[in-house]
Structure 1
Amino acid sequence: MGTISKGILGGFSGKVGTVIGGSWKGIEYMRSLATSVSNPNSPAQLDQRARFGTMIKFLKPLTAFLRIGFKNQAVRMSAFNAAMSYNFSNAITGAYPVYEIDYTQVLVSQGSLPQALNPTAVSTTAGEIDYSWEDNSSDADAMADDKSVLVVYNPVKKRVVTLEGGNTRTGGSQVITVPASFSGDEVQCYISFQNANGSVISNSQFVKGLVVV
């Protein structure tokens, strides 16, 4: 049975007939009851579940960072779901039943701030990755004090290392430290920029895959 909490014109919670009502993040919603599926293992559904599972496994270690990277997209949905929506549509490659992540197409952040100019990364010292970029602080909407944001994803160990509030656009470089256990593993490197007060971020860029010294 549904309960009306704000009068007849307000939202309701619970079930009324074939409709379910509730509230999420202060947003009243209604949805219909799920219909039964005659064949839950149809080729299309198996394919969809395989793609979904591949992306969930990739994004799960990034959950905490995505609250920063996709916070500007978290409108009527969580930051994780916003990241899932974009990457599910753009960053999966392969064919059923074997799907993989296309790391070059992944976004770990999404926003309107200008991206890094010609970023690159190298690992020449044990446990360190050196990022560098060119100064584009004169571009529209870019600021000299925008801070670099770095993400290193290790597919072998399913681990992520992040750095927020790094060197500025004009600084041109930033070192990120990774665990000693990453030595010999190929990792995927991403960079974004965030404004000084942290309210706006750029789309992330795939910098490169590299083997950690």
Structure 2
Amino acid sequence: MTKYKNGPLGPFSGKLGDKVYSSWKNDDVVKDAPEKTTKEPTQRQLEQREKFSLLTAFFSCIYDVIAVGFQAFTYKMTQMNAAMKFNTDIITGVSPNFSIDYPKVLISKGKLNGPIGVKLKCDASGQMKLSWEFQAECDQATDRACILFYDESINDCFIISGIVRREDAALLFFKQHDAIDDLVHVWLFFISANGRKVSNSVYAGNG
């Protein structure tokens, strides 16, 4: 990929010959167009496509969290690409039965102090209690908690952000009545009061 300067008619976008012109991070760039091939994909290539499709579907569903959790890496890549980069080992199983190893999933990466002592308790009524430890001597009480609830059964999520502070050390959540029997995965990370820093996320469990 190479940067180029605008001509007298301004920036150009599209394919011209064997080159593709586009804009990336406010820069005008040009790169070689992909070569067409008539070769059948190998089994390994097919498996990589399956994994990529699975990851894309999952991260697209939780994109609002990804956009915050990987905000520090947007200088050279998108938040989605950063999420893919730091989650290269979360696919388990054998083709065609690939699945996501949710405890390995990282939905946020940053330098803020991360959650410690995280516990998740669930009961048959749909009540979920998430708790963590608050260390007044080294943690900022005003850091905001960002909690992701991901319903694996329907590939949908619910996000709580900005209303719970680190010093609260707990959150009580109730599943919707029609989702009581669904398997819900929970993650937690913290965001600084000014929104500029985040912590690494922690997988709290499921219920």
**8 Å contact 1:163–1:176 — kept in the other structure?**
no
Distance 1:206 1:38 in 2: 43
Matched, 1:170 2:137: no
Summarize the Cα distance change of 1:176–1:80 in structure 2 as closer, same or farther, 3 Å threshold.
farther
User: How do 1:31-42 residues align onto structure 2 when only pairs under 5 Å count?
Assistant: 31-42=31-42
User: How do 1:119-158 residues align onto structure 2 when only pairs under 5 Å count?
Assistant: 119-124=118-123, 126-139=125-138, 142-158=139-155
One-letter amino acid matched to 1:173 = A
Distance 2:5 2:27 in 1: 14
Summarize the Cα distance change of 1:159–1:19 in structure 2 as closer, same or farther, 3 Å threshold.
same
Q: Structure 1 residue 5: deviation in Å?
A: 6.2
Q: Equivalent residue of 2:167, what SS?
A: coil
Q: Structure 1 residue 12: deviation in Å?
A: 5.3
Runs of 4+ in 1 over 6 A off after TM superposition: none
Matched, 1:21 2:21: yes
Distance 1:125 1:68 in 2: 32
Q: Structure 1 residue 151: deviation in Å?
A: 0.7
- Identify the residue that residue 204 of structure 2 maps to in structure 1: 207
TM-score scaled by structure 1? 0.84
- Identify the residue that residue 101 of structure 1 maps to in structure 2: 100
Distance 1:130 1:179 in 2: 15
Distance 2:67 2:17 in 1: 36
Q: Structure 1 residue 107: deviation in Å?
A: 1.1
One-letter amino acid matched to 1:67 = A
- Identify the residue that residue 49 of structure 1 maps to in structure 2: 49
Summarize the Cα distance change of 1:58–1:15 in structure 2 as closer, same or farther, 3 Å threshold.
closer
User: How do 1:76-87 residues align onto structure 2 when only pairs under 5 Å count?
Assistant: 76-87=76-87
Structure 2: stretches of 5+ with no match in the other structure: none
Q: Structure 1 residue 14: deviation in Å?
A: 3.9
One-letter amino acid matched to 1:171 = D
How big is the alpha-carbon RMSD for the aligned residues of Structure 1 and Structure 2? 2.3
Matched, 1:161 2:181: no
Distance 2:196 2:177 in 1: 33
- Identify the residue that residue 117 of structure 1 maps to in structure 2: 116
Structure 1: stretches of 5+ with no match in the other structure: none
Distance 1:197 1:52 in 2: 34
